[in-house]
């Protein structure tokens, strides 16, 4: 009788383990689902020149869009874009709003707890900008009562600003564009903007009427950009990594980086 009970318990444990394994494996099916429906739903957030809506056409364009189009060709599927403000980009991935995020996202440990990253496709860093006529020249000058520092909520700059500045007032913006904090400086509503470096340097060069200076000569937190897929979707992650490697090897990815980042490229981002 005791032996029978032991065998029954072992049998139930084995069955339960098999069911758990089956469920875990069944969850790793994003790639198959995308191919079956013929559409890849993509989360996209604004950051010039990686991803930006053309005001004339209201269509998304940029480096990430071009890379995504190349991947869609390899998959033989169409892309459906889900406009996603930066403050909810992680939530959109974890709740299934999209199959993948092609928004230019820093690879950060806190994010890696919630999603899977692909291999990097580009790089960027953060920077602090003030008005060109500002008397402030150092981070110590900036971190004083009476000064206000803006950044976009939910970004790497959000966390860094809260860790770095203890005396100045902090202003988290809920906008969906990375240059929102720069525009706050132009409007004289804040003293400084903490935002991404390369894309905003490109934005300033394309808008010469705007005048800023970099408060930090060296990049802050140089970090790779990668795409994000839901936790557990290892097959899809592997496919995207293989696709990115292929685009790198056949020269497509370097050409796209040069097209959109121009003279900035990696040297401007890292120096």
pLDDT at 266 over 50: no
Task: State residue 66's pLDDT score.
Answer: 98
> Per-residue confidence at 263, pLDDT binned at 50, 70, 90?
low
> Per-residue confidence at 264, pLDDT binned at 50, 70, 90?
low
87 and 152 assigned to the same domain: no
What is the residue range of 197's domain?
Answer: 124-221
Tell whether omega for the bond before 49 is within 30 degrees of 0, i.e. cis.
yes
210 and 92 assigned to the same domain: no
Enter the tokens of residue 108.
């950060």
In a domain, 9, yes or no: no
Contact 195, 169 (CB under 8 A): no
41 and 119 assigned to the same domain: yes
For 195-236, write each residue's pLDDT tens digit.
999 888 888 888 888 889 999 888 898 999 999 999 999 999
* Lowest-pLDDT choice from 65-69, 127-131, 173-177, 219-223: 173-177
67 and 82 assigned to the same domain: yes
CATH of the domain at 151: 3.40.190.10
pLDDT at 80 over 50: yes
pTM of the model as a whole: 0.76
- What mean pLDDT is reported for the chain? 87
119 and 129 assigned to the same domain: no
233 and 217 assigned to the same domain: no
Q: Is 105 exposed, middle or buried (0-12, 13-18, 19+ CB in 10 A)?
A: buried
For 3-62, write each residue's pLDDT tens digit.
444 444 444 444 444 444 433 344 799 999 999 999 999 999 988 889 999 989 999 999
For 113-144, write each residue's pLDDT tens digit.
999 999 999 989 999 999 999 999 999 999 99
């Amino acid at each position: 009788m005791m032996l029978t009970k032991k065998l029954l318990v072992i049998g139930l444990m084995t069955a339960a383990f098999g069911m758990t394994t089956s469920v875990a494996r069944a969850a790793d099916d994003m790639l198959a689902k995308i191919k079956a429906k013929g559409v890849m739903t993509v989360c996209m957030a604004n950051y010039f020149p990686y991803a930006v809506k053309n005001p004339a056409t209201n269509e998304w364009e940029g480096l990430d869009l071009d890379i995504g189009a190349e991947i869609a060709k390899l998959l033989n599927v169409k892309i459906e874009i889900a406009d996603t403000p930066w403050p909810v980009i992680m939530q959109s991935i974890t709740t299934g709003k999209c199959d993948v995020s092609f928004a230019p996202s820093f690879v950060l440990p806190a994010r890696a707890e919630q999603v899977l990253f692909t291999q990097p496709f580009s790089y960027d860093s953060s920077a602090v900008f003030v008005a060109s006529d500002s008397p402030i020249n150092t981070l110590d000058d900036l971190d004083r009562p009476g000064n206000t520092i803006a950044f976009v909520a939910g970004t790497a700059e959000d966390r860094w600003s809260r860790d770095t500045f203890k005396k100045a007032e902090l202003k988290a913006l809920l906008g969906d564009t990375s240059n929102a904090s720069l525009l706050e400086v132009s409007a004289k509503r804040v003293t400084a903007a903490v935002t991404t470096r390369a894309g905003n340097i490109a934005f300033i060069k394309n808008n010469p009427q705007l005048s800023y200076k970099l408060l930090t000569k060296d990049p802050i937190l140089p970090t790779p950009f990668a795409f994000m897929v839901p936790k557990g979707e290892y097959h899809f992650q592997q496919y995207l990594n293989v696709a990115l490697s292929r685009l790198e090897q056949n020269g497509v990815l370097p050409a796209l980086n040069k097209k959109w980042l121009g003279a900035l490229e990696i040297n401007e981002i890292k120096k």
